[in-house]
Every structure is written in structure tokens, then in C-alpha cells.
């Protein structure tokens, strides 16, 4: 099939054998397209939602952790501020700053909340990646920051969205108690960040959240980052027993592991839609082979090789799969806009608060979804296409012979089914003992494939 004449002849056969069949049976073609589009759309939307939630989480961690190299926290979240002087004086510590972190709701703005970071403006400068500034240009109003109990700095986006201005009063609810805050400053940062983030003076934040004498975190910078372990050892000698010392990156990795299991679960569920589509494609291509066994016999009698017959059926499946994958990419983009919010709400309820405003679009995600869609089509269509290629010309011209030979599974399929079920049992055992979490999903997939291979074809 290398010369132009042979290629042209192949496309004439493709037009006669494939396109004519699709015109006669449009519903089968539409079913294949829909099954691929649905699988690709669900897979793509899930991946976009996962990436968007991860990006929002990383942005929040970066904003709160700032440039800290170590963090001190307490298991119960109540770290006595009396340990701050000793921590700051510890050998190897270059700078230390206290943090109080809390959340409040805004009854006058339904659905809105604020994540408030109470900071010590004098010690926090080497750590923070944001700046509280006046609404108007000019020197920062330190007296207003320290002297007004309810003065708070809000993001520009939040102020714009709620039509607020300097001096406006807002009602904040912490638990069941209402407090009055005053819009005093604007938070600015070079990179985009969550609009629900806010900052205020450390002392007033302690009063607001009822945490007088307590801290959420003590952030640290080291004199020598290479001496981290030595600094941790010295700090543990002076800290309360329930205090923990770790790098912000380490805490992020711990949360990432929790989120990883949730996202793996979503990905596995999205692959179920692809798996259903694969069964539909397999069945429709198999039915197509049965219907066209006379045409296969004619083609083989006229000199068509097994490879050419196989290529015809694979080309048919790939053509429909390409259309379905393209439609799936479009559908997945729209579906992601609805799924991102749901995923963010679930993660916030179960793991850590994230606010996903924008969807994360990466070319690699679209390319992977396209490859997964077409790959599933080729895998699904391969067995019936191979069966068509193996048809003997004389046998193919006699109706019913292929149906008679296709009722019972072949020994190879039986062996494959039994092997899949045995592997599923092994994967399940490993997943429950020491294996990684993806083994459980692999076991579920192998069970489905095993019983699929055992049923009559």
C-alpha cells in the first residue's frame, strides 16, 4: 500500500465498504460517536477539575506559608504564644513570626466567607508574599492598622465584587457571635490569589477568634537552610510535647497524599465511562463484521489481504472515534465548568478548604484525553477487526458460519479471563495489605475484564 495508486484504491474501497455502510446504518455510527464522546468528556472534565483544585490548593498554601522554611504548629491548633521568645532566640533561627489563622462568614453577603490571617506587621515582612496597602496612594496608615480593632485588609477582587470602599462596615460571624469589621486596606500580590483571603493585626485577630494568648503557627527562617535538622532538634527541646516542627512543603505533601486518593477515585470513575464506551464499540464493530461477512468474502476473493481487511474495520472505528473524541473535548470543557465547583466543595468538606475560581486548562490534558479516546477505540475494535481479517473467503461467503463459531469462548479467552480474575484477587490482597491505592482500582478493572472474557462472544 505504498504507491499512490494502491493508496487511492484503498480509499475507494474504504468509501464503498465503510462510508456506504455508515449511510445505511447511521444510528450505529452515532452510537459509537456518542459513546466515545461521553467517555472522553467525562475523563477530560475530571482531569481539569483535579488540576484546578490542585492549583487552587497550591496557591492557598503558598499565600499562607509565604517564604517560611519551617513551621511550628500544635496538634490541637492551640500553640501558646509564650514560647515565641524562646523560639526566636534558638540557635540557627534567623527570624520568627507568629500567625493566627481563622475563618468567618459574612451574613450580609450570602455564600461569602473570609480566611483571615492575623499577622505581626513588624516581624512578618521577611515571610509574606502579599502587602496590605491603603486604598489611596500614600504612606501606609500604621495607626489605623494597629489602633482600630476591626480594621481588615481585603483583596481587590472581593472589594470590587461586593462594591465596598474604605471605611465601610461589614458584619462578620465567628461561630454564633457577630462582630463588626471595618474595610481599611487592600491586599496586593503579584500573582493571582483567592479573593476570600484577608489579613489583620495579630492581636485583633486573637480577639476576633477568641484565641487570646494562642497562636496557630509560628513561621521560621533559618540562618543556614542546610542546618534544618539541627534547628528542628533544638526547637523540640523547648516546645510543648504536642508541638510539631516541619517544613511547609512537607505539610503540603501530606495533604497532597490525601487529595491524591480522592483524585484517583475520580479518575477511576471517569474511566468507567470509557470502559462502557469500549464495550459498545466492541459490540457494534462485531455486529458490523457479522453483517458484512459476504462483503469480506468478496474482498478476500478479489485479492484483499488480511491486513487490508483488518485496516478497513480499524479505519472505520478510528474515523468514528476521532469525531467522538473531538466532540468529547468540547463537551468535557463545558462539563468541567460545572464539575470544578462540585469537586472543590467536596475537597473543602472532606480535606482542606479550596476555592476554585478558574479552570486550569493545559494542552497536555486535552492531548491525553484525545489519546485515551482513540486508544480505547483501537483496543475495542481490534478483536472484531482481527476476526474479520481471519475469515476465509469461501467460509465468509456462506451465511451463518461465523455466528455458529462465535457462540462459545475460545480457550485463549477462557485462559485470559481466569488469569484476569486471579490477578484481581492478588491486587485486592496487596491493596488491603501494603500495596499502593491504585491496586484496588486495578483489581476492579481486572474483575470486569475477566468476566467479560468468560462470557460468550
Q: How confident is the model at residue 327 (pLDDT cuts 50, 70, 90)?
A: very high
Q: Give the Cα separation of 69 and 67 in Å (integer).
A: 6
The C-alpha cell at 399 is 451465511
The three-class DSSP label of residue 305 is coil
* Strand partners for 171: 180
Q: Using CB atoms within 10 A of its CB, is residue 353 exposed (0-12), middle (13-18) or buried (19+)?
A: middle
Q: Of 407, 425, 441, at which residue does a domain stop?
A: 407
The total of structural domains in the chain comes to 2
| Whether residues 319 and 224 fall in one domain | no
Neighbours of 11 (CB within 10 A): 11
Evaluate whether 150 touches 207 at the Cβ level (below 8 Å): no
| Whether residues 228 and 293 fall in one domain | no
| Whether residues 176 and 116 fall in one domain | yes
Residue 457 belongs to some domain of the structure: no
* Mean pLDDT score, 82-91: 89
Residues in contact with 253: Cβ distance below 8 Å, sequence separation at least 6, in sequence order: none
Q: Give the Cα separation of 37 and 31 in Å (integer).
A: 10
Evaluate whether 276 touches 251 at the Cβ level (below 8 Å): no
| Whether residues 210 and 103 fall in one domain | yes
Q: Give the Cα separation of 36 and 42 in Å (integer).
A: 10
The C-alpha cell at 72 is 511550628
Q: How confident is the model at residue 331 (pLDDT cuts 50, 70, 90)?
A: very high
| Whether residues 317 and 373 fall in one domain | yes
Residue 438 belongs to some domain of the structure: no
Q: Give the Cα separation of 175 and 155 in Å (integer).
A: 23
Q: Using CB atoms within 10 A of its CB, is residue 75 exposed (0-12), middle (13-18) or buried (19+)?
A: exposed
Residue 225 belongs to some domain of the structure: yes
Q: Which residue has the higher pLDDT, 118 or 411?
A: 118
Residue 202 belongs to some domain of the structure: yes
Residue 414 belongs to some domain of the structure: no
| Whether residues 57 and 74 fall in one domain | no
Q: Of 387, 407, 427, at which residue does a domain stop?
A: 407
Span 191-212, pLDDT tens digits: 667 788 899 999 999 999 988 8
**Strands (DSSP E) found in 189-309:** 197-201, 214-215, 217-222, 243-246
Strand bridging mode 113-119 / 197-201: parallel
| Whether residues 372 and 323 fall in one domain | yes
Quote the pLDDT of residue 403: 44
Q: Give the Cα separation of 338 and 343 in Å (integer).
A: 9
Residues in contact with 218: Cβ distance below 8 Å, sequence separation at least 6, in sequence order: 71, 72, 79, 83, 84, 87, 96, 97, 98, 99
Residue 440 belongs to some domain of the structure: no
Residues in contact with 229: Cβ distance below 8 Å, sequence separation at least 6, in sequence order: none
* Mean pLDDT score, 374-395: 82
| Whether residues 224 and 101 fall in one domain | yes
DSSP letters along 308-358, please? Answer: HHHHHHHHHHHHHHHHHHHHHHHHHHHHHHHHHHHHHHHHHHHT------S
Q: Which residue has the higher pLDDT, 302 or 200?
A: 200
Residue 42 belongs to some domain of the structure: yes
The CA-based diameter of the chain, rounded to the nearest angstrom, is: 97
Domain region containing 268: 4-61+253-407
Q: Taking 80 as the threshold, does the pLDDT of residue 56 lie above it?
A: no
> 43-57, 196-210, 224-238, 311-325: which has the highest mean pLDDT?
196-210
CA dihedral 305, 310, 314, 319 (to 10 degrees): 30
| Whether residues 208 and 84 fall in one domain | yes
Give the distance from CA 98 to its chain's centroid. 33
Residue 424 belongs to some domain of the structure: no
* Strand partners for 74: 243
Q: Give the Cα separation of 404 and 392 in Å (integer).
A: 15
Q: Which of 74-88, 262-276, 390-404 has the lowest mean pLDDT?
A: 390-404
| Whether residues 32 and 145 fall in one domain | no
Span 127-151, pLDDT tens digits: 887 888 887 766 788 888 888 888 9
The C-alpha cell at 417 is 479471563
Q: Which of 4-8, 286-290, 411-415 has the lowest mean pLDDT?
A: 4-8
| Whether residues 275 and 381 fall in one domain | yes
Q: Taking 60 as the threshold, does the pLDDT of residue 392 lie above it?
A: yes
Quote the pLDDT of residue 446: 83
Q: Give the Cα separation of 21 and 306 in Å (integer).
A: 20
Q: Which residue has the higher pLDDT, 413 or 93?
A: 93
> What percentage of the chain carries pLDDT values higher than 90?
13
Q: Give the Cα separation of 46 and 72 in Å (integer).
A: 35
Residue 365 is inside which H or E element, if any? helix 363-389
Q: Of 246, 268, 292, at which residue does a domain stop?
A: 246
Q: How confident is the model at residue 9 (pLDDT cuts 50, 70, 90)?
A: low
Q: Using CB atoms within 10 A of its CB, is residue 24 exposed (0-12), middle (13-18) or buried (19+)?
A: exposed
CA dihedral 207, 208, 214, 218 (to 10 degrees): -120
Q: Taking 70 as the threshold, does the pLDDT of residue 252 lie above it?
A: no
* Mean pLDDT score, 438-452: 79
Q: What is the pTM of this model?
A: 0.69
Averaged confidence pLDDT in the chain? 81
Q: Taking 70 as the threshold, does the pLDDT of residue 456 lie above it?
A: no
| Whether residues 128 and 235 fall in one domain | yes
Q: Give the Cα separation of 239 and 204 in Å (integer).
A: 25
> What percentage of the chain carries pLDDT values higher than 70?
83
Q: Give the Cα separation of 48 and 51 in Å (integer).
A: 5
Please list the alpha-helical segments (H only) found in 66-165.
84-88, 142-147, 156-161
Residue 251 phi, psi (nearest 5): -65, -40
Q: Taking 50 as the threshold, does the pLDDT of residue 1 lie above it?
A: no
Amino acid at each position: 500500500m505504498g504507491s499512490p495508486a494502491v493508496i487511492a484504491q484503498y480509499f475507494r474501497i474504504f468509501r464503498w465498504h465503510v462510508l456506504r455502510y455508515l449511510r445505511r446504518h447511521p444510528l450505529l455510527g452515532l452510537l459509537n460517536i456518542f459513546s466515545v464522546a461521553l467517555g472522553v468528556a467525562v475523563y477530560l472534565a475530571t482531569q481539569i477539575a483535579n488540576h484546578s483544585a490542585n492549583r487552587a490548593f497550591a496557591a492557598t498554601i503558598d499565600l499562607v506559608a509565604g517564604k517560611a522554611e519551617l513551621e511550628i504548629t500544635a496538634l490541637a491548633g492551640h500553640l501558646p504564644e509564650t514560647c515565641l521568645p524562646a523560639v526566636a532566640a534558638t540557635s540557627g533561627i534567623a527570624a520568627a513570626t507568629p500567625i493566627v489563622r481563622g475563618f468567618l462568614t459574612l451574613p450580609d453577603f450570602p455564600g461569602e466567607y473570609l480566611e483571615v490571617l492575623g499577622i505581626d506587621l513588624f516581624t512578618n515582612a521577611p515571610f509574606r508574599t502579599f502587602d496590605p496597602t491603603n486604598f489611596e496612594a500614600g504612606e501606609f496608615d500604621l495607626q489605623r492598622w494597629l489602633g482600630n480593632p476591626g480594621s481588615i485588609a481585603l483583596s481587590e477582587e472581593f472589594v470590587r465584587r461586593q462594591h465596598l470602599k474604605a471605611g465601610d462596615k461589614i458584619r462578620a460571624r465567628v461561630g454564633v457571635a457577630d462582630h463588626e469589621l471595618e474595610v481599611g486596606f487592600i491586599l496586593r500580590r503579584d500573582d493571582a490569589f483567592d479573593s476570600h483571603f484577608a489579613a489583620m493585626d495579630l492581636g485583633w485577630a486573637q480577639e476576633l477568634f477568641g484565641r487570646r494568648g494562642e497562636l496557630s503557627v509560628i513561621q521560621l527562617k533559618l540562618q543556614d537552610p542546610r542546618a534544618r535538622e539541627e534547628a528542628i532538634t533544638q526547637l523540640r527541646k523547648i516546645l510543648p510535647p504536642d508541638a510539631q516542627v516541619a517544613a511547609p512543603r512537607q505539610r503540603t505533601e501530606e495533604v497532597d497524599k490525601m487529595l491524591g486518593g480522592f483524585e484517583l477515585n475520580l479518575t477511576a470513575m471517569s474511566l468507567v465511562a470509557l470502559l462502557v464506551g469500549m464495550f459498545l464499540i466492541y459490540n457494534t464493530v462485531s455486529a458490523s463484521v457479522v453483517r458484512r461477512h459476504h462483503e469480506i468474502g468478496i474482498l478476500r476473493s478479489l485479492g484483499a489481504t488480511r491486513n487490508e481487511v483488518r485496516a478497513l474495520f480499524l479505519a472505520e472505528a478510528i474515523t468514528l472515534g476521532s469525531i467522538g473524541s473531538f466532540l468529547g473535548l468540547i463537551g468535557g470543557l463545558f462539563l468541567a465548568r460545572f464539575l470544578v465547583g462540585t469537586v472543590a466543595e467536596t475537597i473543602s468538606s472532606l480535606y482542606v478548604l479550596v476555592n476554585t475560581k478558574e479552570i486550569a486548562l493545559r494542552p497536555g490534558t486535552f492531548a491525553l484525553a484525545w489519546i485515551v479516546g482513540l486508544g480505547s477505540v483501537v483496543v475495542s475494535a481490534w478483536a472484531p477487526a482481527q476476526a474479520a481479517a481471519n475469515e476465509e473467503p469461501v467460509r465468509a461467503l456462506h451465511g451463518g458460519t461465523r455466528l455458529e463459531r462465535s457462540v462459545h469462548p475460545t480457550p485463549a479467552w477462557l485462559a485470559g479471563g481466569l488469569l484476569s480474575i486471579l490477578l484481581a484477587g492478588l491486587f485486592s490482597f496487596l491493596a488491603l495489605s501494603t500495596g499502593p491505592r491504585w491496586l484496588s482500582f486495578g483489581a476492579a478493572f481486572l474483575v470486569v475484564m475477566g468476566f467479560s472474557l468468560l462470557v460468550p462472544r
